[in-house]
Amino acid sequence: MQTMAQITMRYLPLVLLALVWEAAARLHVVDTSALPPLSKVAVAWFDLMRDGELINNGAASLYRGSAGLLLAVIFGGGLGLWMARWRLLDVFVNPLVELFYPLPKSALIPVTVLWLGFGDGSKILLIFLGCMIPVTIGAYNGARGSDHVLVWSARSMGAGRLRMMWDVVVPSALPELLNGVRTALALAFILLVSSELIVSQKGFGYLIGYLGSTGSYEGMYAVVLTVAFLGFAADRFYQLLMQWLLQWRE
Amino acid sequence: MARVEDTSSLSAAEAVIARDAARRFDAVRRLDLVFRGGAGLFSILLLLVAWELFARSGKVTPFMLPAFSAVVERIYSDALTGDLWRNLGLTMYRALTGFVIAAVGGIALGALMSRNRIVRWFFDPIISVGFPMPKIAFLPIIILWLGLYDVSKISIVVFDAIFPVVTATLAGIAAVDTELIWSARNMGASERELMWQIKLPAALPQILTGLQVALPIALIVAIIAEMAMGGYGLGGAMMTASRFADSRGVFAGIVEIAIVGYALIKAMTLVRRRLLAWHEETAERT
């Protein structure tokens, strides 16, 4: 176990950075409109929380992000598992996966807007399409590595297709599948924030853009830091979830 | 094949059998590759034909989905007027400049962190907290500081692409065989020689993996920055097309960006194979 002192020592550089930020802004080393003091950013954060702006826009973003990611995990994971089990699907779909894998996903932003407009639908579709491929690849690689002996013995003991999928293939594919979902989680945040920055009427990205264009930079910094923190927290939380899900393996 | 040739200890007959078996195995594998390659081309063609037919069927308006042929026509005419090359050149310039800065800076920072305890103490929490953050959210701040020009686009690319390079370099150097380092030290290598001639080459596979993660990030971010700031470049052109409800322009942009992404990633794989020609990973693949 890490002691309190060790943890403090480890994260001390972040505290130092925050102090340098505050000092640089207070002593006017830098222009305060470009870099407002951290304490003022904190005040702006509480203001945004109190009048509900941060919560309302955050809820919109959270809904879009989790809906898109959930669809990507269900469909992407399913596709990857079936591709690994069914050769014909593999031969014909794998080239398409390989074709779309290197596509910089941000290129899909204008198309989803063209199809579904500025609202929730276009963001959910964007995140679904963008996040599906890493999940598919993770599920596929994981399921292909599953032990043939296990599959054969399950089959000889009379397991049906679905039963075997759930009891044998999914557990053995889980580590790589979960890693694919982790990539997708990071990608979901990037796509969410950037699409909201570029075209949106609510959400974190919209709020950042709006506060920036009205010149309330303290508020803009507060929202940017909130999003950055949420992305970091989501990843840490997901890592804990992964550990818990993979406990049985050792 | 070389594996089978090297059978001096076997009797002549056994060698012949082994060679035949290996040949048959190679032939089967080649057939499988040809089959897979053929099926791959076939399914991509099928997708394009389905796109064309669906777009022409009248079930969707050309605004929602222009025909593939119309999109190709658009790309062709953009290529003739030179718009395509200007946009493509600018996007590549921004993405690749950012990528190269992130690569050099990331490897340098990773190497420094592995050598110097104070540098490591300072940057370690910044890297581990910063890596999972959606750094694209900082784009408006970077615009505020650096304006709407190339400097800010390249800066956000560097800011996003550097993290995987640093972590890969650190992990790669940490995993270098200690016996390798001891023997080099024993033979009188200085710290500088140790880094350049032992640690970095030995860590190269992992560093290249980090670069392979960073390259698509650089491209994604360059395009987002262009979309957010407007102007020339593939992302900016797509955004302009989308504002004027010019859906052919939007789909032309997707096809162009897809081709660029595919080409860059393939090129990176080739660079990897070339740089790691000495590594056992390359030998396994042939």
Tell me what pLDDT residue B11 has. 63
Tell me what pLDDT residue B207 has. 93
Q: What residue in B sits closest to A16 (Cα-Cα)?
A: B122
Q: Is residue A16 part of a domain?
A: no
Tell me what pLDDT residue B231 has. 81
d(CA A226, CA A204): 9
Nearest Cα of chain B lies from the Cα of A1 at a distance, in angstroms, of 18
d(CA B234, CA B255): 11
Q: CB-CB: which of A13, A101, A232 is closest to B122? A: A13
The conformation of residue A105, written as its DSSP 8-state character, comes to G
Nearest Cα of chain A lies from the Cα of B50 at a distance, in angstroms, of 13
The conformation of residue A1, written as its DSSP 8-state character, comes to -
Over residues A246-250, the mean pLDDT reads: 76
- Residues A39-76: pLDDT tens digits? 899 999 999 999 988 999 999 999 999 999 999 999 99
Q: Length of chain B, please?
A: 286
How does the average pLDDT of chain A come out, rounded?
A: 88
Q: Find the CATH number of the domain harbouring A242.
A: 1.10.3720.10
Residues 113-132 of A with CB under 8 A from B: 113-115
Comparing A157 with B202, which gets the higher pLDDT?
B202
Q: Is residue A211 part of a domain?
A: yes
pLDDT band per the 50, 70, 90 thresholds, residue A1:
low
d(CA A137, CA A144): 10
Q: Is residue A67 part of a domain?
A: yes
Say whether A103 and B36 touch across the interface (CB within 8 A).
no
CB distance A139 to A79 below 8 Å: yes
Say whether B126 and A109 touch across the interface (CB within 8 A).
no
ipTM for the predicted complex comes to 0.86
Tell me what pLDDT residue A237 has. 94
Over residues A156-185, the mean pLDDT reads: 83
Tell me what pLDDT residue A190 has. 92
A17's tokens: 């950075």
Q: What residue in A sits closest to B220 (Cα-Cα)?
A: A104
Q: Is residue A18 part of a domain?
A: no
Q: Is residue A24 part of a domain?
A: no
- Residues A181-220: pLDDT tens digits? 999 999 999 999 999 988 888 899 999 989 988 888 899 9
Q: What residue in B sits closest to A11 (Cα-Cα)?
A: B125
- Residues A99-108: pLDDT tens digits? 888 888 888 9
Chain B residues near residue A17 by CB distance under 8 angstroms: 126
Q: Is residue A11 part of a domain?
A: no
Q: Is residue A5 part of a domain?
A: no
How does the average pLDDT of chain B come out, rounded?
A: 86
Tell me what pLDDT residue B9 has. 52
Q: Find the domain containing A51 and state its range.
A: 38-249
Q: Is residue A3 part of a domain?
A: no
Instruction: Kindly report the pTM of this predicted structure.
Output: 0.85
Q: What total of structural domains would you count in chain A?
A: 1
d(CA B208, CA B205): 5
Nearest Cα of chain A lies from the Cα of B15 at a distance, in angstroms, of 31
Q: Which domains are seen in chain B, by residue range?
A: 2-56 (no CATH), 68-285 (1.10.3720.10)
Q: Which residues contact B229 (CB under 8 A, 6 or more apart)?
A: B143, B148, B152, B153, B236
Amino acid present at A245: L
Q: Which residues of A104-126 are buried (b: 16+ CB within 10 A; e: fewer)?
A: bbbbbbbbbbbbeeeebebbbbb
Which stretches of A51-108 are DSSP H helices? 53-85, 87-100
Collect the ranges in chain B with pLDDT lower than 50: 1-8, 286
Q: CB-CB: which of A10, A113, A186 is closest to B132? A: A186
Say whether B43 and A107 touch across the interface (CB within 8 A).
no
